[in-house]
Amino acid sequence: MKIGFLQFKPELCKPDENILKVREIISNCKNSYDLLVLPELANSGYLFSSREEALSASDEIPGGNFCRALAEISKEKNAFIAAGISERAGDKLYNSAVLVSPNGDIDTYRKTHLFLDEKVWFSPGDTGLNVFEISGKFGKVKVGMMICFDWIFPESARTLALKGAQIIIHPSNLVLSYCQQAMFTRAVENRVFTITANRTGTEINGDKELYFTGKSVIVDTKGNYLCTAGENDETIMIAEIDPEAALDKNVTAKNNIFEDRREEFYF
Largest CA distance in the chain: 57
Stretch in the footprint of ligand ACM (CB under 6 A) among 4-12, 126-134, 173-181, 191-199: 173-181
Total of residues contacting ligand ACM (CB under 6 A): 7
Shortest distance, CB of residue 135 to ligand ACM, whole angstroms? 30
Smallest separation (angstroms) from ligand ACM to the CB of 44: 12
Q: Catalytic positions, please?
A: 40, 111, 148
Phi, psi at 122, each rounded to 5°: -110, 150
Stretch that binds ligand ACM, among 47-55, 167-175, 192-200, 213-221 (CB under 6 A): 167-175
Query: If binding is defined by CB under 6 A, does position 149 make contact with ligand ACM?
Result: yes
**Alpha-carbon distances, residue 88 vs 156, 236, 238 (angstroms):** 24, 28, 31
What does each C-alpha distance from 70 to 8, 22, 60, 109 come to in angstroms?
15, 9, 13, 16
Assign residue 183 a region (left: φ > 0; alpha: ψ between -120 and 50; beta: otherwise): alpha
Out of 22, 168, 174, 236, the only residue in the binding site for ligand ACM (CB under 6 A) is 174
Contacting range for ligand ACM; rule: CB under 6 A; set: 1-9, 29-37, 49-57, 170-178: 170-178
Q: Which is nearer to ligand ACM, 20 or 204 (CB)?
A: 204
Cα 79 from Cα 103, distance rounded (Å): 10
| Residues numbered 96-135 forming contacts with ligand ACM, rule: CB under 6 A | 115
Integer angstrom CA distances of residue 84 from 31, 147, 226, 246: 23, 8, 22, 24
Choose, by CB under 6 A, the member of 67, 145, 175, 229 that binds ligand ACM: 175
- The residues that touch ligand ACM, with contacts defined as CB under 6 A, are 40, 115, 148-149, 173-175
